[in-house]
Structure 1
């Protein structure tokens, strides 16, 4: 890998899995971080969800017991995703291919320590991602005029957070917290653009550079294919480092009721860069590959505001709710790609996304009996994607989720947490240039399972 730092931090953890990436969930983000939150519909702002709380509201670390805790977890994601051409009935289904994508596994690793009024934590958590694999023989791999290319259509986006969190109990009611996250983001992409898509991008001023007239000068241009991929569990075709962070607080309105608020800042991640190949597809000249360097510019994770409440009904029952506003509109306007060939010729492409800001409601309940805590929840979100800009390789369209899970306390020092989340099937159609040539209808559902072991000492 290009960055030595990612090796000791992630590869050692990910070595226990054969494949490591994320599938589409709530756009590009997990519904909840850690099994406790995931089992309660993603709610996490106003109650103790363990070490994973540093990914939503770091102030909740002060709701943990005094002492130290080690957290080791894993999420397994099983996506049911296909792209259908509604005119012809043809289907491109996302499938497992070697160790590059799916079925997906994502690790969690953290250490927390609470002493008196101060709680500290450090961890490694996946924040989100996307993974698709349509192969090289579906209708998505045909250029304009039905020309079969044999070229792949696929994607993988992985965002890892390494949060350093602190929480301070101001008094018996108010707690404040903050985290500074080191972030690593990586992308694989194999995408074919038909000649009509290329023409639409050029005509709207979304494609420019010295390679534009070269493509236009080919005798019978049918499309262009962009490829930057590493077929490895973690290493990707283009990657970058950056920072993020969040602020949070909790307020005990009464012995039974806790209020919470948290704000996660928009990330500041550098441009993802790596080796790439741009292949021009021509009916006369054939396929003309150009080697070079890719830059995916200003691809950021959005800011997010969370407001939450938890209420303990009695010794056995607790309920919780979060309302979140995710500011996708500012973060996801375009996919801004720059390619520079080894010869020095270049092309810049702006694929429109124009995401909408998203509102989410997470609801959860927990019931404790003996060594067991049983949980259930649901999450409902507005749609962030626009149908006219949906891409086949990034169809994060699910908006309704159900969840269930449990904790089993082996001893006062150790416990096992489990969560299952189901994303109910959602459909969306796009027949608009420039993001698709053939009309497409995405159909996406998903199941995920989370496991975590925590040990106190």
Structure 2
């Protein structure tokens, strides 16, 4: 690295410091607080009692306790409605994300023959991000490589991660008191990302060995920049932009497929008390990739900054959903009242230590000096493991109506040093309520709503304040035949 570039690494501006991690903020970090309206109405408590076909995402062993000869068709819909704001120090107003509605449908069919329950289910596990306008106070200007202030790309700053599963549960009723389950999940994931790094941040990442708390950038593209800076062809850099997006609400431009598995057990200890446990493995996804990506730079060739677009292929390497463990209990206090409690542990520290992206420029004359070069960027995350506590109750009013209520608390896994307004997965407390209505002995409707009060954190390196609150609506319909 040239001395000129090295001298430019002294400062880090507000916009650049924020754009380091990548994740979709759901309600327990990237994970949903609950799956299905029954669990949703009880704060997510679901590991030791019947939650319908949504058990494929809760504890598939609960499927084994159904009466023989029952086939259940399930339809579901979840609407995630976040409210995300970010305010730079001294800014006259906060920037508000336009990413406010995220849709997650589900379809399932589970059969019970003898002591064996089996079937298939497709569900959108999570899908969210943020979308800031190009005139955002926080993302419109940044610090250049040489320490001046300059506009960034002037384009929208956006992220959206989606992940879905096709699940194949197999549950076995060992006895009237014990059920065991194993499950195979096929997974698809998609990612859109439109993200600016200001010139100072790109310089800090390009330092040999990177910068602790931020990340690193290396490869032949960085070497080319050093050469152009050293010989004076480029005099300053205002921004670097990663851009791959198809603007589809259900699939991302960069995509991947893979597998995961689940294990479950349900023990009916007494007529009133049941205990359930489950293990969800870490996913085994391919690298998220797209051949239609762009990497752009704001470069000063001596006559002011101009945009330098480069087309190529992006790979997000080894992005995985974490493994988790869960233990729950359900106590039937009376013929009408059910009480439930779950404790879950999510291994975010293994899955979200850092985000690695590789961009390879097309070997095209249009890419000029950067044709065929490569940029490897690692964005530091250092998430902590997360503990989630769910408490819920269900009260059967009569043969048609059941009412539910609950609460969910999750520790915040994101350090203040790496949290940012693009992906503030910081929500902690949840309050929920719901109901079930039985149309006929074969037909039921379940609905729930969850409210997560606004949480406020401040990025320790920049002083940027982030606020995040949300509401989740769930509806499920089940038909037995």
TM-score (normalised: structure 2): 0.86
In 2, are the aligned partners of 1:147 and 1:222 still within 8 Å (CA)?
yes
Counterpart residue number, 1:58:
60
Equivalent-residue separation in structure 2 for 1:292 and 1:26 (angstroms): 34
Equivalent-residue separation in structure 1 for 2:130 and 2:312 (angstroms): 24
The reply to whether residue 365 of structure 1 matches residue 393 of structure 2 is yes
Comparing 440-449 and 276-285, the one that deviates more:
276-285
Unaligned regions of 5+ residues in structure 2, if any?
Answer: 1-23, 144-148, 211-215, 363-370
Q: CA deviation at 1:148?
A: 4.6
In 1, are the aligned partners of 2:104 and 2:127 still within 8 Å (CA)?
no
In 2, are the aligned partners of 1:215 and 1:221 still within 8 Å (CA)?
no
Comparing 444-453 and 210-219, the one that deviates more:
210-219
Q: Deviations over 1:329-383 (max 9, x none)?
A: 0011111000001121010000001100001100000000111010000001111
The reply to whether residue 160 of structure 1 matches residue 164 of structure 2 is yes
Comparing 209-218 and 105-114, the one that deviates more:
209-218
Unaligned regions of 5+ residues in structure 1, if any?
Answer: 1-21, 97-101, 433-437
Q: CA deviation at 1:270?
A: 0.5
Matched ranges for 1:23-422 at <5 A: 24-66=26-68, 67-96=70-99, 102-138=100-136, 139-144=138-143, 145-203=149-207, 204-205=209-210, 206-216=216-226, 217=229, 218-274=234-290, 275-283=292-300, 284-342=304-362, 343-370=371-398, 371-422=400-451
Q: CA deviation at 1:65?
A: 3.5
In 1, are the aligned partners of 2:33 and 2:44 still within 8 Å (CA)?
yes
Comparing 206-215 and 76-85, the one that deviates more:
206-215
In 2, are the aligned partners of 1:23 and 1:77 still within 8 Å (CA)?
no
User: How has the CA–CA distance of structure 1 residues 164 and 31 changed in structure 2, closer, same or farther, with 3 Å as cutoff?
Assistant: same
In 2, are the aligned partners of 1:87 and 1:439 still within 8 Å (CA)?
no
User: How has the CA–CA distance of structure 1 residues 90 and 224 changed in structure 2, closer, same or farther, with 3 Å as cutoff?
Assistant: farther
CA-atom RMSD, angstroms? 1.4
Q: CA deviation at 1:441?
A: 1.6
Q: CA deviation at 1:88?
A: 2.5
Counterpart residue number, 1:453:
477
User: How has the CA–CA distance of structure 1 residues 280 and 215 changed in structure 2, closer, same or farther, with 3 Å as cutoff?
Assistant: farther
Equivalent-residue separation in structure 1 for 2:348 and 2:317 (angstroms): 16
Q: CA deviation at 1:387?
A: 1.1
TM-score (normalised: structure 1): 0.91
**SS at 1:301 equivalent:** coil
Q: Deviations over 1:386-417 (max 9, x none)?
A: 11011322111001111000000000000100
Q: Deviations over 1:16-61 (max 9, x none)?
A: xxxxxx8632211111110001111111110000101011211011
Equivalent-residue separation in structure 2 for 1:181 and 1:317 (angstroms): 33
In 1, are the aligned partners of 2:104 and 2:126 still within 8 Å (CA)?
no
In 1, are the aligned partners of 2:189 and 2:251 still within 8 Å (CA)?
no
In 2, are the aligned partners of 1:401 and 1:423 still within 8 Å (CA)?
yes
Q: CA deviation at 1:130?
A: 2.6
In 2, are the aligned partners of 1:29 and 1:129 still within 8 Å (CA)?
no
In 2, are the aligned partners of 1:141 and 1:153 still within 8 Å (CA)?
no
Structure with bigger gyration radius: 2
Q: CA deviation at 1:288?
A: 0.5
**SS at 2:239 equivalent:** strand
In 2, are the aligned partners of 1:54 and 1:60 still within 8 Å (CA)?
no
Equivalent-residue separation in structure 2 for 1:199 and 1:439 (angstroms): 21
Equivalent-residue separation in structure 2 for 1:431 and 1:189 (angstroms): 24
In 2, are the aligned partners of 1:47 and 1:63 still within 8 Å (CA)?
no
**SS at 1:387 equivalent:** coil
Which of 445, 448, 453 aligns to 1:424? It is: 453
Equivalent-residue separation in structure 2 for 1:235 and 1:358 (angstroms): 27
Q: CA deviation at 1:168?
A: 0.3
